[in-house]
Structure 1
Amino acid sequence: MRSKWVTIQLGYVLGSSSLLTAIVYFFATNWEKLNRWEKFIPVYLLILGFYGLSVWLSRQAGRQFLSKLSLFASCVSFGVGVGLIGQTYNSHADSYTLFAVWFIPAFLLAVLTKWQPFYILSYILGHLAYGIYFFPRWEGMTESEVVQIAIWLGMVVVNGILYVLTERGMLNSPLLKWTSFQASIGILLVVSNSQAFEHYGVIMNLPLIAALAAAIWYTYRTRNKAYLLFSGLWISITTMSKYIELIVHYHNELFFIVSLLFVILFIGGNVKFMTFIRAWQPATVPSETDERRNETNESDKPESDFTKWVVRVLTVSVVMIGSLLGSLTVIGFVTLVLGFQEPVNVLIGFGLVVVTGMVLAKKVNALVRYTVLISGLLLGAGAAAFSENVPFLLVFLVLAVGAFVYINGIVQRIFFFLAAVLIAAVILFNWLNSGVIVLSVITSILFIIFVCGQLIKNGAVRQPVLYSSYPSFLMTLFILTFITESYWYYLINALFFLVVVLALIVSKVRNVRWIYAWSMGFWAAYLVYKYYDLAWKLLHKSVTFAMIGILILGFTIWYEKRHRSEAVEPADHASYTANRFLIGVLVLLQIAAMSIQIGKSEWLLSHGQLVKLQLEPLDPRSLIQGDYVRLRYKISEPPIFNQKNEALTSKRKISVVLAPNASTGVYEYSRVYSKGESLAPGEVRLNGTRIGYGRIEYGIESFFIPEGTGREYEQNAKFAEVKVSANGDAILEQLLLQPSVVQ
């Protein structure tokens, strides 16, 4: 039976993800009890072992899914190996190189296997490499505004190409298609912000508008309802962000008077336009699915399904824009134009009158009704929460619940449900003054509502209750896992783990996709969050996830054996047998690349010249490699940049000559290296890259340390010992601590 196979498949996914998480956490601890080779050999075995398992499983009947899962684990192990090499030889801390090297096999495996996890992994790695190369987190932006915009537009082009390739079926990844669509428009919205890009942000509104218009036109032509909805939502977000930009520039009485008139005209115009859309019957262009199903032309209906979606998208967009713009405009009008001394009370009163009136006013145009109603709720409840006026908050809570019961529509009811939850949370916090207790109470209530919601027979009420309560329950429960008190920590984390795993199994077996999607999203967030969780050290988390993974895999294997005759793998899991040889070559190239890098680093450590440099450490954490100190040397800002020599400062790659100080033995900047010149005895050449106008990076700016020891190195490490080869390459060997802390 398919349900048996689904359970088995999910068990292997959860168990494998736990084990891989444990492996990453273990090596990120930089466990000082392991030497270099004791770290490298297990990674080699993991890469080859997972690949060998993948090959063996690919030759077994009904094991194609597990074969691809093992190959994915091999690819992840390669990423761990690349990070481990950087950790061991103190390089590639959160740098683009690590992710770029990892991206290559991930992308090639995506092409060869056509499996979704490889597509997503390569998308993430590619964007990390691109972003970290151009926007290093720790040093800020040094490029001009034009260069920054060009970098962002490069990402737009990449995502646009990905969308076209997936839309035309050249890449088979619906999630990649959705992500690239959102990323393209989102990035254009960022670069059109006149606050972030003062000189050219306004000009970038033109490509943003063009992209939104193209998205609307294309989704209309293709009858793609989901993407039409996304386009409408982006129009709403764009309009709102542009309005906020205008407020920053023109926050005066005249602006808010004009804004109030604009909001009224905006809503009125859209009411007329919506009436026109409902009356207009466009010729229906059948999709491929419709042609295969040979469905009846929808234009024969009084109102086509496509027209309904257009109306829904426009309604949601207009209500979102109108509510937010209206709320901000009323606040500005009350405070600046009318000049009330107690604007909070005015806003509360306005909210009460508007919400009560709009809940009861069924005959008012729906677009006007919901826009004014939501604006009133935002203003009234927001003002009551700001002033900590609990009695009025209780009134707004009753109004939100009443609106949920009295007003029809899934989207409307979801909004009022969530509004009621937020208002209740504010009320409880004012009474209890304890975030932990409030979250615990809200979580319990949401769970009870979700369970009881299953019993509601009226689908119009049951759906919004379930769609609202379950994600909210997961979110509040997830937030509770941040608590660091010992008994609560273990209890909540165990509860969250059990709830998510159980929800994944049940929803997958029963094919409840929306619950499965939310549960899987929170499972992934949980694995990532635990990396930065302060309650345990990474080693403890590694052991815990390893035990969890072993238990899940053990149960899955037992379950599969028991139901072997019933659990049948679906036939749509295509084999990659045809590309098995190319995949094998790719794995060997990964091993070779790691070996070459290790060999080069070991040779430099054995034959390089030892130099001593003065430094200034900081303390961040690498995503893959664990804790490290970020180093800035005295030679990082040599005096050559103060000489205004454009011929030198314009160079990207640069080499300098260092010479030892006669009294301290510390190597200091001497001059810029000229190609072919001979060095004096004791001098060394050091290769670097110019960063910004006045700084050089030498590739020795990261030193990986055991978890939790960063403060010690920050306070006591003043010098670094570096091995430098004859051609100017360098490896950071060790930091020299002050004598008081040397063991």
Structure 2
Amino acid sequence: MKSKFVTIQLGYVLGASALLTAIVYFFATNWEKLNRWEKFIPVFVLIMGFYGLSLWLSRQNGRQFLSKLSLFASCISFGVGVGLIGQTYNSHADSYSLFAVWFIPAFLLALLTRWQPYYVLAYILGHLAYGIYFFGRWGGSSDAEIIQIIIWLGIAIANGILYVLTERGRLHSSFLKWISFQVGMAVLVVASNSQAYEKYGVLMNLPLVLVLAAAVYYTHKTRNKAYLLFAGLWVSITVTVKYIELIIQHYNEFFFIASLLFIILFIFANVKFMNFIRSWNPASKQLDPENRSNLETSDQAKPDGDFTKWVVRVLTVSVIIIGSLLGSLTIIGIVTVVLGFDEPENVLIGFGIVTVIAMIIAKKLNSLVRYTILISGLLLGAGAAVFTENVPILLVFLALTVAAFIYIAGLVHRIFFFLTGVIIASFVLFNWIDSGIIVLTVLTALLFVIFASGQVIANAGVRQPILYSSFPSFLLTLFALTFMAESSWYYIANVLFFIVVFLALVISRQLHIKWIYAWSMGFWIAFLVYKYYDLAWKLLHKSISFAVIGILVLAFTVWYEKRHRLEVSEQPEASSNYAMNRWIIALLVLLQVMAMSLQIGKSEWLLAHGQLIKLQLEPLDPRSLIQGDYVRLRYTISEPPLYADENQDADSKGKITIVLAPNQATGVYEYRRVYTKGETLAPGEVRLNGKKLGYEGIEFGIETYFIPEGTGRIYERDAKFAEVKVSAGGDAILVRLLLQPSVVQ
């Protein structure tokens, strides 16, 4: 069965991930005790070991997935190794270069294997490298606005190219096709924002409109229903963004009167579009012979699947939400600006009550129009009541949500009204009770009673939305109590949550109630993760815990696979291009190892031949992250008096090189001037490369230093100086922190 096949694959992924995490935590625990080679050798072993395992598994029957997973782990290990080298040497490497180096093998492996995880990894790394490089280098220049728009355009064009390549079958990734379409549209919307880009943002509306029109035309012509829905969704989002921009720019009476007509047209157009989508069956239409042959071999000829239905629901909900927000803003503008009521909140409350009652009664009205108006009424009326702390009116809206729950059928609709009622009830309780913990406790008890009572309701149309809403809401409020409660309440809430969720898991598993089991498992994992990091923060504990978890998961997966071997063997595995590309992949892995070796060699040469200097530190900022404790450093030279140099703009950003010279009394190197290319340094002077951050100063790539766990406060108190090796070219490596003032030997 497919579900068992997926379970086995997931088990191997989770088990391997846990073991890798355990290894990372173990090295983080002993980081300070390891020399540089003891840090690097395990990474090389992991890269080559995972590659060798992948090669061996590729020759075994039924192990293609594990072979691809092992090769992917080798690629991940390479990325970890690249970051490790930069971290160990504190080398003057820009972040974009780390992502760019990692991107190359990920992208090549995606092309060679056509395995989707590589496409995902390469897409993320490529965008990170591009964004950090261009925004970091030119995003803060004097012509920042036009440059940033050009950078955004570059991202949009790149995603457009990816979409075309995947659409034409040049790249084989449904993920790339989907994400490139969405990101390309989103980037154009951002670049056309006239509030963020006052000079040139308005000019970007033309390419945005052209791309939206082209997307609608092309997806309709190619009979791609899902992507036509996506295009329609982006049209609605664009209209919403532009409307908000216009509100900010034209806050006057005429605008809000015109907006009312616009909202009507917006909802009317979406109603027509949704009716067209529901009735449109592109696969049934006659095509010419050439297109028919292409269509018959594509997934577009298939009937609407779950994905398309999901997109239809998302678009419908999005239109309702957008229409509700636009309508609410327009009504507020008319009431406050056009009509100028002295107490507009009372008008909004009255409007909300009338519209909610009217929409509950108007059963024959188009559902999209009906729920848009109803939600607008709830937003305006209940929102005004919350703003004025009018508890009686809140109780009226609570009663209206109960009435809507009773009289408006539909699972999703009733879940919405139930959750809305819970939110309104929480505002009422917060007005009556000052303590947030008591309010949460009351809500938790109330939701549990509703859930328990819902079990005996005979009407399935009422019972299901009550159960589907009350159970996750109950778990959420109880989970919130586990870290908000104090004193004895803290222990009671934690023990109660542990018992309730454990019983829910056991009972739902025995009774085969999948949705309760899924919600319980999600909150169970969230609870364990939160408590683990709250109570067991030591890295060694994490390392041991993840190792045990990984071993148990892998052991269970092996047992489960043996038990269902016959059923799983019937599942076809995705074809692998490993065999035909074996030599290319081997060369790629070798190049990764060589690249890491060259970087290590370059850094070792700098340490051996660079000049040792001492820098004074500003107050330290100790941090704690999952990889161990480290301190964030800042130096006195991080804020040099650049404004005294006539050729320097203190607000500019970009690369810079400064000249340092030792203070004869203390031996500490201090700022002298900005380095001019080609100039000859005086005896004792060194140059140091950095990156200007405007008025925030300069970063030199030596701002992070890893320390033994739990010693952050010691370094914060006692570290006053740092020893740094500087090459003749100005690159620096942080050697160590000095806990007591000393003179460089």
Instruction: State TM-score, norm by structure 2.
Output: 0.81
Q: Distance in 1 between matches of 2:615 and 2:549?
A: 45
Cα distance in 1, alignment partners of residues 457 and 591 from structure 2: 57
Q: Which residue of the partner structure matches residue 158 of structure 1?
A: 158
Please tell me whether the aligned partners of residues 649 and 693 of structure 1 are also in contact (alpha carbons under 8 angstroms).
Answer: yes
1:546 aligns with 2:551: no
Q: What amino acid does structure 2 have at the position aligned with 1:354?
A: T
Question: Quick one: which amino acid aligns to residue 609 of structure 2?
Answer: H
1:633-660 per-residue CA deviation (whole Å, 9 max, x = no partner) reads 4444555664333799999665444322
3-state DSSP class of the match of 1:170? coil
Q: Distance in 1 between matches of 2:238 and 2:698?
A: 39
Per-residue CA deviations over 1:303-331 (Å, capped at 9, x if unaligned) read xx999999988865653333111111222
**2:15 match:** 15
SS at match of 2:687: strand
- 3-state secondary structure, aligned to 1:616: coil
1:418-457 pair list within 5 angstroms? 418-427=419-428, 429=430, 433-434=435-436, 438=440, 445=447
Corresponding residue for 1:721?
723
For the residue of structure 1 that corresponds to 2:618, the secondary structure is strand
Aligned residue number for residue 383 of structure 1: 384
Give 1:56 shift. Answer: 1.8
8 Å Cα contact 2:352-2:381 kept in structure 1: yes
Matches within 5 A, 1:16-95: 16-27=16-27, 31-91=31-91, 95=95
- The answer to whether the 8 A contact 2:662-2:668 is kept is yes
Contact kept? 1:11, 1:552, Cα under 8 Å: yes
- Any conservation in 2 of the 1:359–1:407 contact (CA below 8 Å)? yes
Determine if contact 1:691/1:697 at 8 Å carries over to the other structure.
yes
Deviates more, 1:231-240 or 1:647-656: 647-656
> Partners of 2:51 and 2:187 in 1: how far apart?
38
Partner of 2:397: 396
Shift of 1:570: 2.5
Residues 118-151 of structure 1: CA deviation (Å, up to 9, x unaligned): 11122222222223334459x9787611111112
Q: Which runs of 5+ in 1 are unaligned?
A: 299-304
Look up the SS of the partner of 1:111 in the other structure.
helix
The answer (yes or no) to whether the contact 2:686–2:730 under 8 Å persists in 1 is yes
Equivalent residue for 1:301? none
Residues 454 and 463 in structure 2, CA contact (< 8 A), matched pair in contact too: no
- Separation in 2 of the partners of 1:140 and 1:532? 38
2:671 maps to which residue? Answer: 669
Aligned to 1:614: 616
Structure 2 matches for 1:464-479, cutoff 5 A?
Answer: none
| Aligned counterparts, 1:319-330, within 5 A | 319-330=320-331
Counterpart amino acid of residue 164 in structure 2: V
Query: Given that residues 323 and 375 in structure 1 are in contact (C-alpha distance below 8 angstroms), is that contact kept between their aligned partners in structure 2?
Result: yes
Asked if the contact 2:92–2:733 (Cα under 8 Å) also holds between the matched residues in 1, the reply is no
The code of the aligned residue for 1:53 comes to L
Q: In the aligned structure 2, how far is the partner of 1:529 from the partner of 1:364?
A: 47
Q: Distance in 2 between matches of 1:129 and 1:414?
A: 43
1:373 aligns with 374
Q: Distance in 2 between matches of 1:4 and 1:339?
A: 65
Q: Which amino acid aligns with 1:700?
A: I
For the residues of structure 2 that align with 1:645 and 1:536, how far apart are their CA atoms?
50
Distance 1:144 1:33, change over 3 A: same
CA change 1:295–1:135 in 2 (3 A) is closer
Q: Mean alpha-carbon deviation: is it higher for 281-290 or for 349-358?
A: 281-290
Alignment of 1:398-413 (within 5 A): 398-407=399-408, 412-413=413-414
Query: Contact between 1:110 and 1:118, CA under 8 Å: does it hold in 2?
Result: yes
Partner of residue 291 from structure 1, selected from 296, 300, 312: 296
Greater shift in the superposed pair: 679-688 or 592-601: 679-688
Give the gaps of 5 or more residues in structure 2: none
User: Over residues 526-548 of structure 1, what are the superposed CA-to-partner deviations in whole Å (9 max), with x where a residue is unaligned?
Assistant: 99999997973555444433322
Q: Could you tell me how far 1:725 is from its partner in structure 2?
A: 2.3
Residues 369/685 of structure 1: CA separation in 2 closer, same or farther (3 Å cut):
closer
Distance 2:453 2:184 in 1: 39
- Paired residues for 1:266-665 under 5 Å: 266-267=266-267, 284=285, 291=296, 318-407=319-408, 412-413=413-414, 415-427=416-428, 429=430, 433-434=435-436, 438=440, 445=447, 536-568=537-569, 570-575=571-576, 576-616=578-618, 619=621, 628-636=630-638, 638=640, 642-645=644-647, 655-665=657-667
> In the superposition, relative to structure 1, how do residues 131 and 143 fare at CA in structure 2: closer, same or farther (>3 Å)?
farther
Contact persistence 1:617–1:629 (CA under 8 A): no
Give CA deviations for 1:90-122 in whole Å, capped at 9, x if unaligned. Answer: 247992232222222222222222111111122
Question: Is 569-578 or 386-395 further displaced after alignment?
Answer: 386-395
Counterpart of 1:682 in structure 2 is 684
Alpha-carbon distance in 2 for matches of 1:76, 1:502: 36
Shift of the 672–392 alpha-carbon distance from structure 1 to 2, 3 Å rule, reads closer
Closer, same or farther in 2 for the Cα pair 1:280/1:60, shift >3 Å?
closer
Cα distance, 1:482 vs structure 2: 6.4
Distance, in Å, in 1 between the alignment partners of 2:218 and 2:438 is 48
Whole-angstrom distance in 1 between the partners of 2:649 and 2:337: 55
Cα 1:678/1:503, change in 2 over 3 Å? farther
RMSD of aligned C-alpha atoms?
A: 5.0
Could you tell me which amino acid in structure 1 is paired with residue 552 of structure 2? Answer: L
CA distance in 1, matches of 2:590, 2:695: 41
Per-residue CA distance 1:50-74 (angstroms, 9 max, x = gap): 2222222221111111111122222
- 5 Å-filtered alignment, 1:177-326, equals 177-264=177-264, 266-267=266-267, 284=285, 291=296, 318-326=319-327
Q: Secondary structure at the match of 2:201?
A: coil
Q: CA deviation at 1:12?
A: 1.4
Task: Tell me how far 1:272 sits from its aligned partner.
Answer: 7.5
1:717-738 per-residue CA deviation (whole Å, 9 max, x = no partner) reads 4432111223433211122345
Identical-pair percentage = 68
- 2: CA distance, partners of 1:634 / 1:502: 60
Classify the secondary structure of the residue corresponding to 1:668: strand
Alpha-carbon separation, structure 1, partners of 2:642 and 2:665: 23
Deviation digits for residues 338-358 of structure 1 (CA, Å, limit 9, x no counterpart): 444443343233212211111
CA contact (8 A) 2:654 2:691 kept: yes
What is the DSSP-based 3-state SS (H/G/I as helix, E as strand, rest coil) of the residue aligned with 2:41?
A: helix
The answer to whether the Cα contact below 8 Å between 1:323 and 1:372 also exists between their aligned partners in 2 is yes
CA contact (8 A) 1:481 1:492 kept: no
**In structure 2, the residue corresponding to 1:612 is in which secondary structure?**
strand
- Does the CA-based 8 Å contact 2:135-2:148 persist in structure 1? no
2:122 is aligned with 1:122: yes
Relative to structure 1, the CA distance from residue 34 to residue 670 in structure 2 (aligned partners, 3 Å threshold; closer, same or farther) is: same
Q: Given that residues 143 and 692 in structure 1 are in contact (C-alpha distance below 8 angstroms), is that contact kept between their aligned partners in structure 2? A: no
8 A contact 1:159–1:181 mirrored in 2: yes
* TM-score with structure 1 setting the length: 0.81
1:238 CA drift (Å): 2.3
Q: Aligned residues, how many?
A: 729
Equivalent residue, structure 1, for 2:176 = 176
| Cα pair distance change 1:3/1:641, threshold 3 Å | same
User: Structure 2: which amino acid aligns with 1:352?
Assistant: I
